[in-house]
Amino acid sequence: MYDFSNLNVAIADDSAFFRTALRSVLLGFGIRDVFEVEDGQKCLALIEGQRPDILFLDWEMPVMSGPEVMRNIRKKEAPHPYIPVIMVTSHTEFERVEHATKLGIHELLCKPIAAKPVYQRLLSVVMKPRPFVRTASYFGPMPRNGKPPEEETKPELIEGEEAFMI
């Protein structure tokens, strides 16, 4: 098992039950610092204040939805635009997965959760970091297929924080 003990992880989900369940799984993996918020607006404040290493972000939340949070996180002027995001949702239809990818997420995690998929998503983000790219319509990790969403021209690879390191 990989040593995740140095990670700071944030959970943004309106369900206290889900946050507790995910926190228990993360603590079981040795993660010591887990921050929780229940809406998108508090999530953005948490990211700015705590600068977590990874964010688990629910799709449907009050005040500001997961997609709205993603648009704010990936803005050029955002305080932490390179944060790896694992989007969490119970809606797994193709259109939603495609939309989440276009928002610049790293991974998608389906509810209800189990320890193994959470571990796999964490491992993917930590062990297989993807460079960030910026195009006219996209900013985020290079999709696994190697092509930024809806892009005809060559993407600009972003230097600096493009790789997630522990």
Has residue 153 got a pLDDT over 70?
no
Superfamily of domain 8-157: Response regulator (3.40.50.2300)
Nearest to 37 by CA among 119, 49, 75: 49
Going by C-beta distance under 8 Å and a sequence separation of 6 or more, which residues neighbour residue 102?
Answer: 138, 149, 150
Report phi then psi at 47, rounded to 5: -60, -45
Has residue 166 got a pLDDT over 60?
no
Place of tokens 């507790």: 20
pLDDT per residue as tens digits for the range 74-92: 998 899 999 999 999 999 8
pLDDT per residue as tens digits for the range 90-101: 998 999 999 999
Per-residue pLDDT, 38: 98
Q: Can you say how many angstroms the Cα of residue 87 is from the centroid of all Cα atoms in its chain? A: 5
Per-residue pLDDT, 157: 62
